[in-house]
Amino acid sequence: RWAVRLGLALCREYNRGRGRAAGKTSQHRTQQVLEWLRDHEPHFRRQRRTPVEVKHLAMPDKFKQAANSVEAYRDYYYSKRRTMPMVWPPGQMPHWWEARRRAA
């Protein structure tokens, strides 16, 4: 369910402007499939889940000391701001980015 909701949200973002900025006028190709999955959810047996013991973060070790994975990735992306410019639509800069910028 979560993956389908995320996929549909990404399709809405694409349809709202990101894809259209590249001259595309149609919906994202996966939208129809995701809508079908949303409307025809499979019924799997529930299995007991085991907790994740090791978090695999794709970044240098110096960023892995953060309180959680989200903060670690935010620190990592902010560290890349000079070599990998981040660009957001006007008024849509993430709150955490602005907070780090003010603190620097």
8 Å CB contact between 86 and 97:
yes
Q: What tokens were used for 24?
A: 């595309």
Q: What is the three-class DSSP state of 16?
A: helix
Q: What tokens were used for 67?
A: 């309180």
What are the sequence ranges of the domains in the chain?
2-39, 61-103
Contacts of 11 (CB under 8 A, 6+ apart): 27, 28, 30, 31, 34
pTM for the complete prediction?
Answer: 0.51
Q: Band of the pLDDT at 20, cuts 50, 70, 90?
A: low
What pLDDT is stored for residue 97 in this prediction? Answer: 92
pLDDT in tens, 71-83: 999 999 999 999 9
Q: For helices 69-79 and 95-103, what crossing angle results, to 10°?
A: 60
- N- to C-terminal Cα distance for the chain? 39
pLDDT in tens, 25-70: 678 889 999 999 999 988 777 777 788 777 789 999 999 999 999 9
Place of tokens 């960023």: 63
Q: Band of the pLDDT at 23, cuts 50, 70, 90?
A: low
Phi, psi of 48 (to 5 degrees): -70, 130
What pLDDT is stored for residue 33 in this prediction? Answer: 94
Q: What tokens were used for 2?
A: 């979560």
